[in-house]
C-alpha cells in the first residue's frame, strides 16, 4: 500500500520508519521512507535532492575544458571514467583523431579506477553487514592505487587528468613499474577476500536469495552495470560500443542468472580479476607518441547534439551535449547510473526485512552524489 493509503486507512497495522538523511549505511544523504508491518517491509520510497549542486546548470556557463572538473564530483569513485566520457563527447563533436598513446593510457587508468571503486565497495559492504575489519582491508589495498594516481596527476580523489584532446601531463617514468608491482601484490590479496567473506556461511545466508531482480525487471527499469549483469542482461558498454582501447583487449563479460544479492556480489569480485587481466595486457606495450593533441584555447563545437556513453563502475554514464556554436554548451545532461538503479530498490526490497534492505543497498552500490548531481 502506498504512503497516502496507509496514512488514511484506519485498520492498517503498518507504521513508518525513516531511514533518514543521516544514517551510517545509506552511503550518502538519502532519505528512505519505509512502511513496515512488524519487521517486514511493504514499501520503500526514496526522497532525493539533499546534495543537489546544479552541476548541469553550471556546465552552461563554463567552457568545454572547464566542464571536465565538475564531473569529478558526481560519482567520485569513478572520476576518471566520468572525465573520459565528457572528453570523448567533445572530441566526437570536434571530430578529432586521438593519438594511440592517449587511448591506451586512458584505458589503463580507467581500469585502475574501476578496481579502486570495487575495493571500496567490498570494504563498505563488509562494514554494512557487520564485519568491520573488511573495511580496513579494502582501504589498505586501495591505498596503492591512490598513491599511483597521486604521482601521476597530483590528487587522490578529484583528479581532473583527462582534457579534451588528451591528457594533462604525460605519465611519470615509474608508472609502469608501480602498476606492475600493484598487480602482483593484489593478485595475492584477492583470494583473502574470498576466504574472509565469500565462503563464509554467515555471509552466504545473509545474501543468497535476498533481493531478487528478474531479467525483465532489470531491462524495464534500466538497471545497467554489474547489478543488471547479475540478472542475466548483457549490457556492458565496453563490448557493445567499444571506445578508447577496449576493442583490442580480450576480456570476458561476466553475467550470472540468479539475480540475487550474492550474484551481484560475485559479478563485482569477478570483474576485479578481469580488470587485472586487461591492465596486464596493456601495460607493457604503451605506444610512443604525443600525450595530447593541440586544440584551440577556446573550443567551439558546431551546432550539433552529441551523446557518448561510458561504462563506469556502477553502470552506464551517458553524456548528452547540445551546443549552438558558442563557447559554452547550450545544455548538458548526464544520464546517471545510480538513479535507474535506485528505482529498482522498491521491487527488490518488498517482503524482506530491514536487515535485507541494508544488504540490497550495499550490493546495488549507490553513490548519492551521482544520483543528485
Partner 1 sequence: MKAIINYIKEVVGGIKTLINGMKVTGYYISHPKEIITQQYPENKDTLKMMDRFRGEVIMPHDENNEHACTGCEACEIACPNGTIEIISDRILNEETGKKKKTIVKFVYHLQMCTMCNLCIPACPTDAIKMGQNFEHAVFDRSKLTKVLNKPESKLRAGVED
Partner 2 sequence: MKFDIYDFSVLTSSIHELLRSVMGETSVMITEMVIVGIVFLTLFSVLGLVLIYIERKVCAFFQQRLGPMRVGFWGTAQTVADAIKLLLKEPLMTKSADKFLFNLAPFIIIISSFMAIAAVPFALGLQALDLNIGVFYVTAISSIGVAGILIAGWASNNKYSLIGAIRSGAQIVSYELSVGLSILTIVVLTGSLQFSEIIESQRDGWWIFRGHIPAFIAFVIFLIAGTAETNRGPFDLAEAESELTAGFHTEYSGMKFAFFFLAEFVNMFIISAIGATMFLGGWMPLHFGELTSFNEIMDFIPPLFWFLGKTFFIIFIMMWFKWTFPRLRIDQLLTLEWKYLLPINLINILIMAFIVLMGWHF
Query: Using CB under 8 A as the criterion, which residues of the chain lie in contact with partner 1 when the complex forms?
Result: 62, 65-66, 69-70, 133, 140, 143, 150-155, 158, 160, 168-169, 172, 192, 195-197, 199-202
Compute the distance between CA of residue 254 and CA of residue 318 in angstroms, rounded to an integer: 21
In sequence order, the β-bridge partners of residue 15 are 36
Edge-to-edge, what's the strand order for the sheet holding 316-322?
A: 305-311, 316-322, 331-335
Among 114, 206, 238, 314, binds partner 2 (CB under 8 A): 206
Q: Please provide the distance, in angstroms rounded to a whole number, between the alpha carbons at the two ends of the chain.
A: 30
| Cβ proximity to partner 2, 117 vs 207, nearer residue | 207
> Counting contacts by CB under 8 A, is residue 3 touching partner 2?
no
Separation of alpha carbons 295 and 94, rounded Å: 10
Q: Let me know: does 139 contact 116? Beta carbons within 8 Å.
A: no
- Pick 8 or 195: Cβ nearer partner 1: 195
Q: Please tell me whether residue 191 binds partner 2 under the rule CB under 8 A.
A: no
Contact with partner 2 (CB under 8 A): which of 29, 51, 55, 196? 196
Distance, in Å, from the CA atom of 313 to the CA atom of 118, rounded to the nearest integer, reads 7
Contact status: 200 vs partner 2 (CB under 8 A): yes
Of the listed pieces 48-56, 99-107, 338-346, 349-357, which binds partner 2 according to CB under 8 A?
349-357
* Phi, psi angle pair for 201, to nearest 5°: -70, -30
Identity of the residue, 84 or 128, whose beta carbon is nearer to partner 2 in the bound complex: 128
What residues does 41 pair with on adjacent strands? 36
Q: Which does 169 bind (CB under 5 to 8 A by kind): partner 2, partner 1, none?
A: partner 1
Which one of 17, 58, 157, 240 is in contact with partner 2 (CB under 8 A)?
A: 17
How far, in Å, CA of 192 to CA of 198, rounded? 9
Q: Is the dihedral of CA 323, 319, 344, 242 positive or negative?
A: positive
The residues in 22-41 that bind partner 2, with binding defined as CB under 8 A, are: 23-25, 39
Q: Which of 44, 197, 213, 313 binds partner 2 (CB under 8 A)?
A: 197
**Which partner, partner 2, partner 1, none, binds residue 129 by CB below 5 to 8 Å per kind?**
partner 2
Nearer to partner 2 by C-beta: 308 or 359? 359
> d(Cα 332, Cα 64) in Å, to the nearest integer?
11
Binding mask 114-143 for partner 2 (x = CB under 8 A): ------------xxxxxxxx--xx--x---
Print the binding letters for residues 72-111 with partner 2: x by CB under 8 A, - otherwise. ----------------------------------------
Cell of 86: 565528457
**According to the binding rule CB under 8 A, does residue 365 interact with partner 2?**
no
For residues 120 and 171, which CB has a smaller minimum distance to partner 2 in the complex?
Answer: 120
- In order of 133, 141, 371, the CA distances from 186 in angstroms are 18, 7, 31
| Residue 358 lies near partner 2 (rule: CB under 8 A) | yes
How many C-beta atoms lie closer than 10 Å to residue 13's C-beta? Answer: 9
Q: Copy the grid coordinates of residue 183.
A: 598487480
Residue 240: closest CA among 307, 305, 311? 311
Distant-in-sequence contacts of 37-40, Cβ < 8 A, 24+ apart: 37/13, 39/353, 39/354, 40/351, 40/352, 40/353
The reply to whether 236 sits near partner 2 by the rule CB under 8 A is: no
From partner 2, partner 1, none, which one binds at residue 192 (CB under 5 to 8 Å depending on kind)? partner 1
Nearest approach in angstroms of CB 360 to partner 2 is: 13
Closest distance to partner 2 from the beta carbon of 232 (Å): 27
Coarse DSSP helix, strand, coil percentages of the chain, rounded to the nearest 5 percent: 50, 10, 40
Q: Which is nearer to partner 1, 41 or 321 (CB)?
A: 321
To the nearest whole angstrom, how small is the minimum distance from the Cβ of residue 202 to partner 2? 5
Binding site for partner 2 (CB under 8 A): 15, 17, 23-25, 39, 126-133, 136-137, 140, 196-197, 200, 202-203, 205-206, 353-356, 358
Amino acid at each position: 500500500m502506498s504512503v497516502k493509503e496507509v496514512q488514511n486507512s484506519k485498520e492498517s497495522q503498518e507504521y513508518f520508519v525513516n531511514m533518514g538523511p543521516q544514517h551510517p549505511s545509506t552511503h550518502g544523504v538519502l532519505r528512505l521512507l519505509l512502511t513496515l508491518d512488524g519487521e517486514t517491509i511493504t514499501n520503500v520510497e526514496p526522497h532525493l535532492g539533499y546534495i543537489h549542486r546544479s552541476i548541469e546548470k553550471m556546465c552552461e556557463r563554463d567552457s568545454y575544458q572547464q566542464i571536465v572538473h565538475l564531473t569529478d564530483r558526481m560519482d567520485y569513485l569513478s572520476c576518471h571514467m566520468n572525465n573520459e566520457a565528457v572528453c570523448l563527447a567533445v572530441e566526437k563533436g570536434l571530430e578529432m583523431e586521438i593519438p594511440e598513446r592517449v587511448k591506451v593510457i586512458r584505458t589503463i587508468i580507467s581500469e585502475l579506477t574501476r578496481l579502486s571503486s570495487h575495493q571500496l565497495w567490498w570494504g563498505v559492504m563488509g562494514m554494512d553487514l557487520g564485519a568491520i575489519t573488511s573495511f580496513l582491508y579494502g582501504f589498505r589495498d586501495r591505498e596503492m592505487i591512490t598513491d599511483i594516481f597521486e604521482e601521476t596527476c597530483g590528487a587522490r580523489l578529484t583528479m581532473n587528468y583527462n582534457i579534451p584532446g588528451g591528457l594533462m601531463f604525460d605519465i611519470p617514468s615509474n608508472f609502469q613499474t608501480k602498476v606492475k608491482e600493484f598487480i602482483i601484490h593484489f593478485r595475492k590479496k584477492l583470494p583473502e577476500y574470498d576466504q574472509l567473506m565469500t565462503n563464509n556461511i554467515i555471509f552466504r545466508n545473509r545474501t543468497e536469495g535476498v533481493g531478487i531482480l528478474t531479467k525483465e525487471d532489470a531491462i524495464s527499469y534500466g538497471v545497467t552495470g554489474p547489478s543488471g549483469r547479475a540478472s542475466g542482461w548483457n549490457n556492458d558498454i565496453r563490448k557493445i560500443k567499444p571506445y578508447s582501447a577496449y576493442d583490442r583487449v580480450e576480456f570476458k563479460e561476466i553475467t550470472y542468472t540468479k539475480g540475487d544479492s550474492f550474484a551481484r556480489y560475485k559479478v563485482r569480485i569477478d570483474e576485479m580479476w578481469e580488470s587485472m587481466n586487461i591492465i596486464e595486457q596493456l601495460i607493457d606495450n604503451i605506444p610512443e607518441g604525443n600525450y595530447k593533441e593541440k586544440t584551440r584555447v577556446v573550443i567551439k563545437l558546431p551546432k550539433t547534439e552529441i551523446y557518448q556513453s561510458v561504462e563506469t563502475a556502477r553502470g552506464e554514464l551517458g553524456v548528452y551535449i547540445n551546443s549552438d556554436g558558442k563557447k559554452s554548451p547550450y545544455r548538458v545532461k548526464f544520464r546517471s547510473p545510480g538513479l535507474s538503479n535506485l528505482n529498482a530498490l522498491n521491487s527488490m526490497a518488498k517482503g524482506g526485512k530491514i536487515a535485507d534492505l541494508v544488504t540490497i543497498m550495499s550490493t546495488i552500490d549507490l553513490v548519492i552524489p551521482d544520483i543528485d548531481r
